[in-house]
Structure 1
Amino acid sequence: MPEEPASNSATSGPPSASALFIEVNCKSSGNIRRFSAATKAGFALQIINRKLDDGVVPGSYIEAVKEGEESVSFGPTSVLADYGDGWKLQTVVGEGFEREKDVQATHSQFATIMDQDDPDIKVRKRTERGNNVLYIGRIFLALSIMALFGSILTWGLENLPSLIR
């Protein structure tokens, strides 16, 4: 769903302070997304990747490219900027993820690693279980102490008249 460039687009003319939005081309899907001129690159990339269909390779970062020039990479906290005529913003697909098969292989490798009997995961689960038991034990102890104090106070108030005489 490529969109028609508007006259106020930051990518269709020389840079101006009145640019209302910046266009970023998603190389994986071919879609163009528009963002306000003060959008951070990390946020824009997150939105672009969230709107991708299943099986489409997500972008790793955003860069400005122009034929014959070295590209300019935007870090996650960088504000998207337009560099003028010929410069276009686009997502970059991480190295080794150009083909869908590579992505599926990476996902299956990650799942295999996570499913292995990792001793660190077992220790963390055991620790979390231990923390839950401690938490419940502390609650039980606090309720017991409150019941004890309540019993002592009730006994004292019931026997107060005989203690005063």
Structure 2
Amino acid sequence: MAEEASITASPPSPPPFVEVSCKISGKNYRFASGTKAEFAVALINRKLGLVNPRVIYIEAVKEGDEPISFGPHADLVDYGHNWKLNAVNDANHPGTENSDGVPLQIPRKIPSASSGPDDSKSERRSSSPEAKKGLSPVYIGKTLVAFVLMLVLGALFTTALENLPLLISLLNSSM
């Protein structure tokens, strides 16, 4: 009987979710185990709205241990007893100030929560600085020069093809 009780008494299974605490909002956000950190950061930032500072990454912390940072494509996991997942914002992130104490702008891509792997290329293209500027005078000038060069080359080839029979007759008569 004692053997059967020890077999059926298994260690408690980990919860099917992980909790990420956010100091900016003071709330805990729950995500399914295995959620990508990039999605969690984007969702927290979306719920925060236009509040500054923004969440830039998630890390697991335990007193007396070195924090573990989750990259954008890492799965969120619960490391067990006394480990907590924290959303790190750019205000409490070391290295976000210059020598004068002025906060630096950290360039970052905050994806939408609905973006999938197919949207990543188009999102990168549309977020380039050239796409945001619109039509610059340099771009229009280069386009016009290319158009003029195409017309000149077309005129040269047309003239050459029109005079090709005359060239062939001259070559035949000289032989």
Post-superposition offset of 1:88:
2.3
Question: CA 1:138/1:84 → structure 2, altered by over 3 Å: closer, same or farther?
Answer: same
Question: What letter is aligned with 1:32?
Answer: Y
Residue in structure 2 matched with residue 93 of structure 1 by the alignment: 89
Where does structure 1 differ by over 4 angstroms across 4 or more consecutive aligned residues? 13-16, 128-132, 162-165
Post-superposition offset of 1:85:
2.8
Question: What letter is aligned with 1:76?
Answer: G
Distance 2:19 2:38 in 1: 15
Q: 1:141 aligns with which of 144, 149, 156?
A: 149
Distance 1:130 1:137 in 2: 11
SS of equivalent to 2:148? helix
Question: What letter is aligned with 2:31?
Answer: R
The C-alpha deviation readout for 1:67-109, integer Å capped at 9, x for no partner, is: x444623142444221113322121233469xxxxxxxx79x9
Number of aligned positions between the proteins: 123
Gaps of 5+ in 1: 1-12, 98-105, 111-124
1:32 aligns with 2:40: no
Contact 1:38–1:79 (Cα < 8 Å) also in 2: yes
Question: CA 1:86/1:14 → structure 2, altered by over 3 Å: closer, same or farther?
Answer: farther
Residue in structure 1 matched with residue 43 of structure 2 by the alignment: 47
Distance 2:79 2:50 in 1: 32
When normalised by structure 1's length, the TM-score is 0.50
Distance 1:89 1:96 in 2: 15
Residue in structure 1 matched with residue 99 of structure 2 by the alignment: none
Contact 1:26–1:33 (Cα < 8 Å) also in 2: no
Residue in structure 1 matched with residue 80 of structure 2 by the alignment: 84
Residue in structure 2 matched with residue 150 of structure 1 by the alignment: 158
When normalised by structure 2's length, the TM-score is 0.48
Contact 2:17–2:31 (Cα < 8 Å) also in 1: yes
Question: CA 1:21/1:153 → structure 2, altered by over 3 Å: closer, same or farther?
Answer: farther
Gaps of 5+ in 2: 1-10, 94-101, 106-132
- Please give the root-mean-square deviation of Cα atoms over the aligned residues, in Å: 4.1
Distance 1:140 1:35 in 2: 59
